Amino acid sequence: DIVMTQTPLSSPVTLGQPASISCRSSQSLVHSDGNTYLSWLHQRPGQPPRLLIYKISNRFSGVPDRFSGSGAGTDFTLKISRVEAEDVGVYYCMQATQFPLYTFGQGTKLEIK
Amino acid sequence: EVQLVESGGGLVQPGGSLRLSCVASGFTFSSYSMNWVRQAPGKGLEWVSYISSSGSIIYYADSVKGRFTISRDNAKNALYLQMNSLRAEDTAVYYCARVGYCSSTSCVDYWGQGTLVTVSS
């Protein structure tokens, strides 16, 4: 199975400041079809996960443009340009390249200082 | 609006059984593959099972293979997870999650609210 490793596991940030989360996979996420199936999810306390970013850098419907994704191969990053109060919660990276064996990172808890 | 509503969770003894349901609305259920994903209390996400839109293709995580059975009834817009021989380590919130289409490729796009399964004596 592909192991997804996120850093940091906890990120205290100040409102209005940027935040960045890294995700590394144990093997390349480039699929044989040429796509890289790396997504980012956000889970607020007591809520289900919500899709933010798919295929590395594409924002899902309704996701604010302060969220951006980048990376390639085995190294990926989620950035929030200016953190807002509603951004607190846990962020997960997820790979679907090795479908159906979806795997997730351990999660990064974003909290306000 | 896409909605996925799970039910059927509860407290069950080790070795017992439970059947989870997920009712979908707001989209043509029969056109979409579905997953079950679980989350142990305070832990991360773990994929459990996948079923194709027609139900003809099914996959399971090794941790549940031989004990869990995924199925669907497209006429009822419903997804199911039959869980047998339950263990303490199966304790988790179980989410159903849709495999949608993102820029012409598949992605897991919508998740239900989840249903809690607790396995304990």
Non-local (6+) Cβ contacts of A55 within 8 A are A35, A36, A37, A38, A39, B102, B103, B105, B107
pLDDT at B38: 98
DSSP letter string, B35-80: EEEEE-TTS-EEEEEEE-TTS--EEE-TTTTTTEEEEEETTTTEEE
Decide if A106 touches B, using CB distance below 8 A. yes
Residues 6+ apart with CB under 8 A from B6: B20, B21, B22, B94, B95, B96, B112, B113, B114, B115
Chain B's closest residue to A36, CA to CA, is B105
B74-107 pLDDT, tens per residue?
Answer: 999 999 999 999 999 999 999 999 999 998 889 9
- Which amino acid is it at B76? K
Closest CB from B44, B103, B107 relative to A51: B107
Answer yes or no: are the C-beta atoms of B30 and B74 closer than 8 Å: yes
pLDDT on residue A108:
98
Distance CA(A76)–CA(A54), nearest Å, equals 12
Does the pLDDT at position B28 exceed 90?
yes
pLDDT in tens, B31-54: 999 999 999 999 999 999 999 999
Residue of B95, B102, B109 lying closest to A48 (CB–CB): B95
Tokens for A103? 């795997």
Query: With 90 as the cut, is the pLDDT of residue A70 above it?
Result: yes
User: CA B38, B39, B44 angle in degrees (round to 5)?
Assistant: 125
Q: Regarding beta strands B10-12 and B115-119, do their DSSP bridges make them parallel or antiparallel, or are they unpaired?
A: parallel
Nearest partner of A60 among B84, B111, B33, judged by Cα: B111
Instruction: Find which of B47, B63, B103 to mutate to test the A interface (most A CBs within 10 Å of its CB).
Output: B47
Q: What is the pLDDT, as a whole number, of residue B89?
A: 98
**Res B103: pLDDT:** 86
Nearest neighbour of A51 by CB, restricted to B47, B109, B114: B109
pLDDT per position as a tens digit, A11-47: 999 999 999 999 999 999 999 999 999 999 999 999 9
- A104–B102 C-beta distance less than 8 A: no
Q: What is the predicted pLDDT for the residue at B104?
A: 83
